[in-house]
A and B are shown apart, each in its own frame.
Chain A
């Protein structure tokens, strides 16, 4: 077991630190809408100009192809420099759509979309969940009927983050009539400007408008927009999710360590006080979360589901950190500010992308080997 950086990696750290110090935006990112889009795209374009876009993507697709060590170094410097959260409206493009196209897309699809994603020219959203298909994704019912060289899509998606400001959507639909569960699905690139699409934004409990319902009324999508094979969308989608649970999470998980430091700074707690005790534990937990993040990257997993442990640990720790902020703020917690906003947003951590309950089932069944819950 080793955790030491080569002199070249140390030089890389200095380069990253200097670039970030000179380029990180001074103001906090807007919460939603057009201003959020403009801010995120400008930041990504700036990263791209500096050679820092698509850092984990392979070189041949325009990425930086960083080694695991350098990804760690980059994200350590990224969070310490207070660069914008990686979970902004460019997240899906950089961490879901792009890597999925790299793994499963055609040359035309890759050639068109990858450079636009890297340059900060397109926003993607994810069309997976439906009103009747939340945790149970495989029950999804939005259909795509093949008609000549097009798919005709009808149905509804929900909880689609940034649908109102996105250019494209990774859309998972049932293309084989009468198919069940994960069979007969297709992963399709949907142009959000297509006729027949209606986006109805939903305000969340933090007062931000991130997510939306998306309705499809005879939306015509060329068959050339199917990624991977027709009816093979489940395999393509699983590829996306697996990627999300590893690399993209580094920045989010390390960000929490910085947040705990900010809280300690904010509270300046007298030693031995109850709040000092809580902060000491949070600091230790954030350190352990970092250790878990590194092990996920630097050790062969024993089961493919090992990543669920760190993911759930992160989600619940993020909530505890934000909850502690409310107690530190006292009466100020009743006013709208960045801490209270993040506190309210943190309720989504144990719901979005697989609820904590589903994650615990996965850990119990796939990591610990307890009996599986039967699905039909």
Chain B
């Protein structure tokens, strides 16, 4: 079989293993009190070297497996440092900082995500991270972050810490505008957004099955069903496109950039739309800080700030017609 979109046995294994690790180490309930995640357990699992070759201290999996694991990471609301460290290790390796790459893969050092904001950078959930990966529109840079803080703020009020540092060139270790590196970042960011979109769908469906009103579970009402169906459509669409993009990028196909751009464009729309619908299905509880669903909404906003989103209109479409319509009629 040359075309087969079923998960392979090996893919199922890694997904099952990652899911078990995340259930134990990063249960969603931990987010009731939001502190930056200790990413040591994720590092011990091998999360930051999944896609690196075995010779480089990685696990030698492909981008497809790595993306699938980041979907699960998104479902568990793991700190954005999980993305930044995985990408930072890649960037360090590509820039010739092999020792730093090894330390990141081994969980001896961590990277947090940085979002440019005017002439400063917002460090998201820095925790123990000594490095930051700053996502700009068309490139990203790996930099050291010093101990001194300019200020500390709270992201969207859900407890994740945000530190503002000045944007200076001092401390920059590596910078990349390499298209493949940017595409990998967009792929993994989108994978986590898909995790958010799936998690809020499942939360809403589970709640609609137990919450009773007018003597029946609210999931029996069509208005609720249709909200849930819309979440399912969005998640399915994104999941299929994630597979397509990951395969294209893994195999070095010429439509790789197009597929990733399509994915990255849809991912924030779907994650945010699903989070909105899920809050709605939860009713009053959904608006409370008690329920987990608002954390997913905020995570979706955060993740949406990361990565570049190449303009899909600049890329050749794989299914472009062979003759222009004007030449036909």
Contacts and interface: CB of A to CB of B under 8 A. Distances in A.
A2 B201 CA distance: 28
Interface in B244-300: 244, 246-248, 251, 258-259, 261-263, 265-266, 269
Given A1-B4, A298-B3, A370-B219, A257 B237 contact: no
A266 B321 CA distance: 13
Contact of A298 (B5, B222, B323, B325): B5
Given A284-B261, A295-B5, A298-B5, A369 B205 contact: yes
A271 B313 contact: yes
B321 A262 contact: yes
A287 B321 contact: no
Given A3-B247, A254-B319, A357-B222, A280 B229 contact: no
Interface size class of B (residues with CB under 8 A): 35 or more
Given A261-B317, A361-B225, A313 B2 contact: no
Contact of A368 (B232, B248, B317, B322): B232
Contacts of A289: 237
Contacts of B147: none
A9 B265 CA distance: 31
B266 A284 contact: yes
B237 A313 contact: yes
Contact of A288 (B7, B209, B217, B240): B240
Contacts of B325: 82, 262, 265-266
A80 B225 contact: no
Interface stretch (A20-28, A32-40, A49-57, A193-201): A20-28
Interface of A (DSSP majority class):
helix
B169 interface: no
B319 A361 contact: no
A309 B236 contact: yes
5 contacts: A257-B319, A285-B266, A288-B266, A312-B229, A371-B216
Interface of A: 1-6, 9, 17, 21, 26-28, 68-69, 72, 76, 79-82, 254, 257-258, 260-262, 264-266, 269, 271, 276, 279-281, 283-292, 294-295, 298-300, 309-310, 312-313, 338, 357, 359-361, 363-365, 367-371, 373
Interface of B: 1-8, 11, 64, 201, 205, 208-209, 216-217, 219-220, 222, 224-226, 228-230, 232-233, 236-238, 240-241, 243-244, 246-248, 251, 258-259, 261-263, 265-266, 269, 311-313, 317-325, 328-329
